[in-house]
Structure 1
Amino acid sequence: MVCVPYAGGGASAFWDWAELLGESVELWCAVLPGRERRFAEPAVTEAARVSAPLAEAIRAEIAAPVVLFGHSMGGLIAFDVARRLGGQVEHLVVSAAKAPHLPFGGEPHLLDDDGLLGWMTTLGGVPADLLAHRDVLGLLLPTLRADLTVCAGFHGTRDVLDVPITAFCGTDDPLATAADVAAWRHHTVAGFDLVVRPGGHFYLKDDPAAVTSVVRSVTAKEGVQ
């Protein structure tokens, strides 16, 4: 299973999932430009510049079948990767992400730094201990802004996959409502499930085991190792 992080986030968000998923699932986490060991690389603003090399890496390094999981921006990137990989992908799991044909909403990538930080804080995406370190936040905001530009660029995408989709949403998510997430059903001809969890945009941080149990059942059903 390959996990793709949310805007401004990194692969470390999923490191704890390996134990939760168990030995039957081989976990891979995408490290995108502009964060973690690729911090020196500029973050990109076009989805294809993320999804194309990621799809190539998966094709080269990971044997089929593959399950893709993406949270928020990661869900949109995972969708684009699934389009490129075709039959190698057995299941797409998206989380807290509006269906790609819907407008992202609010154009947060156009806000100034204070506005962007406030927007992300409202969603719960900035750890409290990080808020006191404005110098560090200043280094992270360009990557967040670039990622949100990627999200905005998906508006109007209506491609349909021959891949089953499971979509998660939080009951109190102001960015991706249950109706927004349920609209992913229009992007597959191979089956769709909606899973609603209590919480906001980052609901999965509250109870990751509840999320991974569903993901584990998906991988078992698809025969992913």
Structure 2
Amino acid sequence: MGDQDSAHYLVSPPLGDDPAVIFVPGLGGRTKFVDRWNTPGQEPVIRRASWNDPMNVPGIDERGAALASLVTGSGAAQVVLVGHSMGGLVCLEAARHLGRRLRGTVIMCQYPPHRTPLSPLADLPDRALAEEIEAPPHIRDTTALATYARLWRSEYRLLNRYLESDPRPVLDAPMIAVGATGDASSWNPGCLADWSRYTTGPLSVHLVEGGHQIVEELPADTLRAWVAQAGG
């Protein structure tokens, strides 16, 4: 059957009608580390959702709708969405379209929209921007940096536009909000607790040691425990 795509999203392994867990990355879209969350024979498989047209950068609400369209078209009846950073906002927007298909969400390293300040990063020079978002050396140290920086700035401008928009979706499903002690986007449990505005279901807040990219080092058992909690 191969990978599935809809409106520029790619989910791998492909979705079927079995319960699904889908991870949505933030800026930069790194997903290779998802592989170590899966072991042969373990269910549910944690799938990667990747935006497969990097030169086309739509708004967060459009990306959420595209992901929801893919899930709905696949026949998947039960879905837990896991989002990191800006990917958490994409999950929020996707969830608004999924209705009873949504079992829950896990949002990592992202304050709720009304507690997230507008980002000044779109105004940084290329190198400073790359260092601020912890871009890997193979991007920072090549001539391709200028191209990547233009895309990053586009995403931050779209993020700011989203943060200024209204109304927000309110979900009817459990939500897990995960912060990191060294991350300016998620270190405050009080701010994370305000995710309660976005769901009528139970909210659980967790704080872990580390920085913004803690998701890349997160133990599989820890993530799977949160997924199980969110899935009810």
- Normalising by structure 2, we get a TM-score of 0.79
- Structure 1 residues 152-171: aligned runs within 5 Å: 152-155=160-163, 157=166, 158-171=168-181
Deviates more, 1:175-184 or 1:58-67: 175-184
2:207 corresponds to which residue? 196
Q: In structure 2, do the counterparts of structure 1 residues 211 and 147 end up closer, same or farther at CA, with 3 Å as the change threshold?
A: farther
1:131 Cα deviation from its structure 2 partner: 5.8
1:215 corresponds to which residue? 226
2:96 aligned with 1:86: no
Considering Cα pairs closer than 8 Å and 6+ residues apart, tell me whether 1 or 2 has the greater RCO: 1
Q: Distance in 1 between matches of 2:100 and 2:122?
A: 34
1:126 corresponds to which residue? 135
1:103 Cα deviation from its structure 2 partner: 3.3
Equivalent position SS for 2:159: helix
Q: In structure 2, do the counterparts of structure 1 residues 138 and 26 end up closer, same or farther at CA, with 3 Å as the change threshold?
A: same
- Structure 1 residues 95-174: aligned runs within 5 Å: 95-120=108-133, 125-127=134-136, 129-130=137-138, 133-155=141-163, 157=166, 158-174=168-184
Q: Distance in 2 between matches of 1:211 and 1:141?
A: 33
Q: Distance in 1 between matches of 2:108 and 2:75?
A: 22
Contact 2:38 2:220 in 1 (8 A): no
Q: Distance in 2 between matches of 1:96 and 1:26?
A: 22
1:49 Cα deviation from its structure 2 partner: 2.5
The one-letter code of the counterpart of 1:8 is G
Per residue, is there more strand in 1 or in 2?
2
Q: In structure 2, do the counterparts of structure 1 residues 150 and 176 end up closer, same or farther at CA, with 3 Å as the change threshold?
A: farther
Contact 2:127 2:140 in 1 (8 A): no
Deviations 1:115-154 (A, max 9, x none): 322321xxxx323x43652323333223322322332233
1:59 Cα deviation from its structure 2 partner: 0.8
Q: In structure 2, do the counterparts of structure 1 residues 64 and 135 end up closer, same or farther at CA, with 3 Å as the change threshold?
A: same
2:42 corresponds to which residue? 23
Q: In structure 2, do the counterparts of structure 1 residues 130 and 45 end up closer, same or farther at CA, with 3 Å as the change threshold?
A: same
Equivalent position SS for 2:115: coil
The one-letter code of the counterpart of 2:199 is T
Contact 1:98 1:104 in 2 (8 A): no
1:32 corresponds to which residue? 51
1:195 Cα deviation from its structure 2 partner: 1.0
After TM superposition, the runs of 4+ consecutive aligned structure 1 residues lying more than 6 A away are none
Deviations 1:156-175 (A, max 9, x none): 54432111110111011122
**Equivalent position to 1:56, from 45, 65, 69:** 69
Q: Superposition RMSD on alpha carbons, in Å?
A: 2.3
Per residue, is there more helix in 1 or in 2?
1
- Structure 2 residue runs of 5 or longer lacking an equivalent are 1-20
- Structure 1 residue runs of 5 or longer lacking an equivalent are none
2:191 aligned with 1:180: yes
Q: In structure 2, do the counterparts of structure 1 residues 200 and 140 end up closer, same or farther at CA, with 3 Å as the change threshold?
A: same
Equivalent position SS for 1:175: coil
1:109 Cα deviation from its structure 2 partner: 2.1
